[in-house]
Amino acid sequence: MKRIIIQLGIAGLLASSLLLPHSAIASTHSKKPVAKSAQAKASPAKRVAVKTVRAQKPVIKAKRVSGRAVKPAKVTKVAAAPQPKPSYAQLAGLHGKQDALDLKSSVAFVVDQDTKEVLFSKNENAVLPIASITKLMTGVLISEGRLAMDDIIEITQDDVDTEKGSSSRLRVGTELSRGELLHLALMASENRAAHALGRTYPGGLQHFVGLMNQKARVLGMTDTRYVEPTGLSSRNQSSAKDLATLVNYAYSDATLRELSTSTGHQVEVGNRTLQYNNTNRLVKSPAWDIGLQKTGYIAEAGQCLVMQAKISGRKLIMVFLDSAGKLTRIADAERVRKWVESGHPATAKPSPLALRGFDSRIATN
């Protein structure tokens, strides 16, 4: 009997040991549907969030190279190009004024040298910086000073431009004759040449500038003021009417006529030969008969041009101030020439105007 009981006990133990793994497996399988059910009950928002996180993982991995985070590329900021400095005429609102010839210069003045008849005028009374037109008055004083033109003048540090920082091929120490410096100042608008002429004038630079202003008053140029002999300073100012008076007066000097209209000139500087050309390309044009001219430019003045020229048998004086560009002053002069050659319609003022300084100084050539 005991043997039977023992055997039954062993059998029960074996049965229970076989049933435990089966129940555990059954228990595990029964939990899976529950998990799926819980996931199925999750809100759509949560599912979207899960998907979003999973989608971002490749992006994060893409920013790592060899286990090292790659820094974003630096963005180089490019500074905007500086705007050109407006001229005095632009600041005064003169540049946009329309005229019958569609000139691009803010100021224009055309007068018959013999009859004093004003053919064309535009802002002719505006007082503005005149840039290197200044050198025409410098030339007048040097020529009338009866100074020896073969005297040698040395370019010094005092002649270097500290106003605008402009360059020059006349190095400090260069020695040229007064006549050559005058030639370069009038023809090529050489600033160091003009300054040296004023600096070496008897009495010195300030005395020379005083004589420039005195000459302007004598000529009746009441709108004109000079502070130095080159035109680099914007304080050298005048009006178109005054400049027409100056051109008329300067035209009576054969030296100024010859030097200002010269197409080119070479100077020997040490072992170098420097070639200079006229700043006014019209002096080379067969369509023009120019008796005297001068160009000028600084930012405050814009592109400027004064001329005496013979057109259709008439000797005319033309003044253009604050032209829009280097070539537009030439284009404006061409427009005026063609307009005069066509008979200049009724834009001219019918009654002659006696310009200051014209009556007793009409020159013939």
> Model pTM?
0.75
Report if residue 19 sits inside a domain.
Answer: no
Residue 77 — very low, low, confident or very high, per pLDDT cuts 50/70/90?
A: low
Q: What is the mean pLDDT of residues 264-274?
A: 94
The whole-number pLDDT of residue 344 equals 72
- pLDDT tens for 296-320 read 999 999 999 999 999 999 999 999 9
Q: How confident is the model at residue 325 (pLDDT cuts 50, 70, 90)?
A: confident
Contacts of 75 (CB under 8 A, 6+ apart): none
Mean pLDDT, the chain, whole residue set = 83
Task: Answer whether residue 10 is part of any domain.
Answer: no
Q: Domains in the chain: how many in total? A: 1
Please name the helix (run of DSSP H) or strand (run of DSSP E) that holds residue 82, with its range, or none: none
Considering only 21-25, 205-209, 254-258, which range has the smallest mean pLDDT? Answer: 21-25
Residues 6+ apart with CB under 8 A from 198: 138, 205, 208, 209, 228, 229
Domain assignment of residue 231, given as a range? 88-341
pLDDT score for 76: 66
Classify the phi-psi angles of 9: left when phi > 0, otherwise alpha if psi is within -120 to 50, otherwise beta: alpha
Q: What is the mean pLDDT of residues 6-23?
A: 44
Instruction: Decide if pLDDT at 44 tops 80.
Output: no
Higher pLDDT, 363 or 130: 130
How buried is 219 (Cβ within 10 angstroms: 0-12 exposed, 13-18 middle, 19+ buried)? buried
Catalytic residues: 132, 135, 189
pLDDT of residue 46: 42
Lowest-confidence range among 36-40, 188-192, 214-218, 317-321?
36-40
CA-based angle 227:157:188, to the nearest 5? 65
Percent of the chain with pLDDT over 70: 72
With a pLDDT cut of 90, the percent of the chain lying above it is: 68
Spatial separation of the C-alpha atoms in residues 188 and 169, rounded to whole Å: 12
Inform me whether the pLDDT recorded for 39 exceeds 50: no
Q: Angle CA(20)–CA(24)–CA(30) in degrees, nearest 5?
A: 145
Q: How confident is the model at residue 69 (pLDDT cuts 50, 70, 90)?
A: low
pLDDT on residue 167 = 94
**pLDDT > 90? residue 13:** no
What is the pLDDT, as a whole number, of residue 324?
82
**Among 59-68, 79-88, 166-175, the least confident range:** 59-68
pLDDT, greater one: 17 or 156: 156
Residue 230 lies in a domain: yes
CB 260 within 8 A of CB 139: yes
Q: Tell me which H or E stretch contains 198.
A: helix 191-199
- Of 214, 241, 235, nearest to 116 by C-alpha is 241
Return the C-alpha torsion angle 279, 282, 284, 288, nearest 10: -150
Domain containing residue 149: CATH number: 3.40.710.10
73 located within any domain: no
Q: Is the pLDDT of residue 266 over 60?
A: yes
